[in-house]
Structure 1
Amino acid sequence: MKENSLISESIKTVVWSAIERFSVQVIQFVLTIILARLVAPSEYGLIAMLTIFIAVAQSFVDSGFSSALVQKKNRTETDFSTVFYFNIAISLISYIILYLSAPYIALYYREPLLELLCKWLGLSLIIQGFSVVQVAKLTISLDFKTQARASLTAVIISGLLGVYLAYSGYGVWALVAQSLLNNILNTSILCLLTKWIPKFIFSVSSLKSLFSFGSKLLLSGLLHTIYINLYSLVIGRKYSATDVGFFNQANLSARFPSVSLMAIISRAIYPIQCKIQDENELLLSSFKQYLRMSCYIIFPVMISMSVLAKPLILVILTDKWLPITDLFMFLCIGYMWIPLMVLNNQILHVKGRTDYFLKAEIIKKIVGLFILVVTMPFGLTVLCIGLLVYNFFDMIIIIYFSKKVINTGYFEQFKSIFSIFSLSIAMGVTIHLSLLLISNIYLQLFLGILIGLVFYLSFSYWFKIKEFNFLLLNFKKIIQ
């Protein structure tokens, strides 16, 4: 009964998390498509060149404290206020360092405009520093509805401004304005809706307690952030801004479905898993259910996108982005394994074993750096194949460490998702064969999606895949 109650609670939180993420991400995706049509790949490339520096600074702003607040059972107002003031201080320091580094960043890439772009984009660090605690409080209370209101309002208004500026010929500055306004609005609305005001309290002991958990997440997050953005850093130095734009667009587009869906699922179930962190059997059972459900949703999406890569790009992004087809195809296959990585990572957070998480990240990034060095001389396509290979190593390494705390290893996890994987592959083959009979790209895209959807759902019903029945049952409950 407790397990059923837990899953029921998960469904409710996932629904609101999905509404918030999907509404924001879908609108953001549509706006990105419009901007991609109005802004040149080289201008996208300029923003992508700065991504690693902004992302590293953002990692310091949070410092792992948001997850630490959620994970801690007996959190107090002192904890919240301490984290708030610490985050503000770190955000200011991070921006000053980024501001002073801007000329050297521009010199490294040999792009003078990057100095000014860096100084403006860096302001987002200070803005986001004011909302870290608000997001943590809403996550703890499973209040994704409030987050949805803030995110949706911010992305619509900022997106419309970005499109207007891009249409008016402002180029890369349209992207800068959109990003800054989005952060300003989101932070302002969160502060207004949460109605939380920090007390004039700063506790060193509270900071130390939270930092013992958060510091390992910070180091792990830094390693991951640096690695995933290292490609733009290397490509920007070795190739052109246009190449950076191509890679960045392919990478963002391929990551979008799996990362967004897992963000919905993981942040909804994380507070719930933290509540049962000491009930090992219940935690293990729920972990397996979440793993199968995540793979059931994400595997077919990513395989379909890989098979339909060319018509997707031509229809959505236009032929000026056609060179990213092969990059996109390989990256979709690599990112389809995100559910296993994310849920195994998260279980280490839930159990408080951020030391294992840090060790895993160090090993993974050493492997990833080796793959990057080996593939770098051979062009963008080989670099993306290298990323695909890295994702397999990522999955293997993190499962090794998660097995130490949840007692389910490679065989058990792969066995539990094998039927879903097989069904998804069969669906992909069916879509590919159907494309051979159609020449029109619009029909290829429409019929490819329709055939894949019908095939996947029909055979899910035929083979009695329990995730299909579970989703169907809960869908009926929601609409009634």
Structure 2
Amino acid sequence: MQHVDSLKDKTMTGLFWSLADLMANHGIQFIIQIILARLLLPEHFGIIGMIIILIAISNSIVDSGFSQALIRDQNTSQEDYSTIFYFNLFIALVIYGILFISSNVISTFFGEPQLIKIIRVLSLVLIINSLGLIQRVMLIKSIDFKTITKTGIIAAIISGSITIVFALLGFGVWSLVINILSMQFIQTTLLWFFNKWLPKKTFNRQSFKKFFRFGYKLLLSGLIDTFYNNLFFVIIGKSYSVTQLGFYSNASKLRDNASLAILISVQRVTYPVLSSIREDQKWLKSGFRKIMKTTAFITFPITTGLIAVANPLFTLLLGEKWIPSVIYFQLLCVAGMLYPINAINLDILKVKGRSDLFLLIEIISKTILTILIVLSLWFELGIIGLIGAAVLSTYINLCINAYFSAREIAYTGKEQLMDLLPIYLISISMGIVVYMVGEVLPSNPYVELFCQVSIGVVIYISACKLARVQELNTVYRMIWALVMKIKSALNNTKSMVNRID
């Protein structure tokens, strides 16, 4: 019982700092993105969007699934860490060389000459990231998200400030390149500063084989997932104008700030925690179920609310020139609504060591998505049709993921559906009402947004109380615990200042 209480405390502390990272780090990046959207043109974001798939896939190869394998492992030695560190760095250097040489071909494919220099400079981020992978893994394993939060906030503020200066000086797309590079460089530097670890001069083949046996399947599934997550950037960049790609790119980033940011903040805490209790089937199922329902309670209303307030939100934050992004953003939010649920289902497979099933699911789900994409292109449904294919595949994936995870922890798809359905229906109903309120209000984005958000919050909380949704109390206790931690931190700071005086 003492172990369980200790694990709960550790989880709450980790969740506190993970959510703090979400609100602060992503909040800062969100503000910077808004400023850059007003300073730069859609085509600047479109140019970066053309090569984002290359960077994303390359990062997956550099990691090679070893991060997840290390986090899952309960008896990791310094030799293990050093072996994976050197492998990650070696792969990063190799891929950078390949991208450097291939930059001419890629530029010709998209018909954008300036991509040559951008690829050769931006690809340096792969080497920078590889240097910080082990440091981050060690902090995640110890659920030390306080340090990760500090590095993220500092890096976001400094890199964001540098980027805005370059944008004001007229550097255009290069200011976005500088943003990515400076952000990762500062984060990696700070991770090394706060986490005092240095690799040993050793490379153990047995260590490599041990983690590769689990990690290579995650690598393959990760490559498939990353490729398809960024495939639309390639299709839109090749088939449509760079401006249209810019509209889609910014809509995607704003969606990610909502659904994916929440997912990452919760998932990076829950995965190591669930891994630590994977042998206790009862606790594992109970913990998984609670995580699933609480995540849905937070994610569903946020995404539906964003869909409902998208028009005044874009007008107020980004300006009139970004209005064509609204419909893309709304459809992407429909898909993003289920991203956290799908990902948490897949986490169970990783926790149970079933990377083979993880890979199989990726192949099945992406085969379905490929068919849907081909159909949308065949019938010339345009960008809307492409995003519609992604939305449909997300709901199909939920059925597939729930089926396979249920086999591991005896939490059936029907049970999941019954747990999620009340929150889903309440969120959808709230979103419809909020959208209708916006239609009858005067066309003032400030008034419209304030009224819609206020009414949405009241409706959601009231409906959850009437439906006796337990997660309302769970989230309330979490918020109260976070408030107490903040209060305690402020009191400790005040005491330190008084002692100094």
The TM-score bracket by the shorter chain reads over 0.9
Question: Alignment partner of 1:130: what SS?
Answer: helix
1:55, distance to aligned residue in structure 2 (A) = 0.9
Q: Is the 8 A contact 1:3 1:286 kept in 2?
A: no
Q: Distance in 2 between matches of 1:311 and 1:11?
A: 35
TM-score between both structures, scaled by the size of structure 2: 0.93
Q: Distance in 2 between matches of 1:331 and 1:32?
A: 18
Q: In structure 1, what is the equivalent of residue 476 of structure 2?
A: 472
Q: In structure 2, what is the equivalent of residue 405 of structure 1?
A: 408
Q: In structure 1, what is the equivalent of residue 495 of structure 2?
A: none
1:3, distance to aligned residue in structure 2 (A) = 5.9
> Deviation string for 1:298-347 (max 9, x for gaps)?
00000011111111111111111111121111111111011220110111
Relative to structure 1, is the Cα distance of residues 156 and 322 closer, same or farther in structure 2, using a 3 angstrom cutoff?
Answer: same
Query: Residue 415 of structure 1 is aligned with which of 415, 418, 421?
Result: 418
Query: Residue 451 of structure 2 is aligned with which of 447, 450, 455?
Result: 447
Q: Distance in 2 between matches of 1:186 and 1:255?
A: 20
> Deviation string for 1:35-77 (max 9, x for gaps)?
0111110110000000011111111111111111110121111
**Residues 60-139 of structure 1: pairs in structure 2 closer than 5 A:** 60-139=61-140
TM-score between both structures, scaled by the size of structure 1: 0.97
2:332 matches 1:328: no
Relative to structure 1, is the Cα distance of residues 350 and 112 closer, same or farther in structure 2, using a 3 angstrom cutoff?
Answer: same
1:400, distance to aligned residue in structure 2 (A) = 2.1
**Residues 40-79 of structure 1: pairs in structure 2 closer than 5 A:** 40-79=41-80
Query: Residue 387 of structure 1 is aligned with which of 390, 409, 418?
Result: 390
* Partner AA of 1:404 in structure 2: R
Q: Distance in 1 between matches of 2:423 and 2:5?
A: 22
Q: In structure 2, what is the equivalent of residue 342 of structure 1?
A: 343
1:472, distance to aligned residue in structure 2 (A) = 1.6
Structure 1: state its 5+ residue gaps. none
1:21, distance to aligned residue in structure 2 (A) = 2.7
2:377 matches 1:378: no
1:369, distance to aligned residue in structure 2 (A) = 1.3
Q: Distance in 2 between matches of 1:29 and 1:142?
A: 25
**Residues 28-427 of structure 1: pairs in structure 2 closer than 5 A:** 28-376=29-377, 377-427=380-430
* Partner AA of 1:388 in structure 2: V
Identity %: 35
> Deviation string for 1:397-455 (max 9, x for gaps)?
22222122122222110101111112112211221232232022221111101110111
* Partner AA of 1:411 in structure 2: K
* Partner AA of 1:76 in structure 2: S
1:7, distance to aligned residue in structure 2 (A) = 4.2
Structure 2: state its 5+ residue gaps. 485-501
Q: Distance in 2 between matches of 1:467 and 1:461?
A: 10
Q: Is the 8 A contact 1:277 1:283 kept in 2?
A: yes
1:5, distance to aligned residue in structure 2 (A) = 5.7
Question: Alignment partner of 1:192: what SS?
Answer: helix
Q: In structure 2, what is the equivalent of residue 430 of structure 1?
A: 433
Question: Alignment partner of 1:447: what SS?
Answer: helix
Number of residue pairs matched?
480
Q: In structure 2, what is the equivalent of residue 460 of structure 1?
A: 464
Q: Distance in 2 between matches of 1:96 and 1:334?
A: 36
Q: Distance in 1 between matches of 2:54 and 2:432?
A: 41
Q: Distance in 2 between matches of 1:334 and 1:251?
A: 11
1:179, distance to aligned residue in structure 2 (A) = 1.0
1:462, distance to aligned residue in structure 2 (A) = 3.5
1:133, distance to aligned residue in structure 2 (A) = 0.4
* Partner AA of 1:457 in structure 2: I
Q: Is the 8 A contact 1:223 1:361 kept in 2?
A: yes
Q: Distance in 2 between matches of 1:433 and 1:323?
A: 21
RMSD: 1.3
**More displaced 10-residue stretch of structure 1: 23-32 or 470-479:** 470-479
**More displaced 10-residue stretch of structure 1: 35-44 or 400-409:** 400-409
Q: Distance in 1 between matches of 2:106 and 2:337?
A: 33
1:8, distance to aligned residue in structure 2 (A) = 4.3
> Deviation string for 1:121-171 (max 9, x for gaps)?
000001111011000000111111111111111111111111111111110
Q: Distance in 1 between matches of 2:72 and 2:243?
A: 42
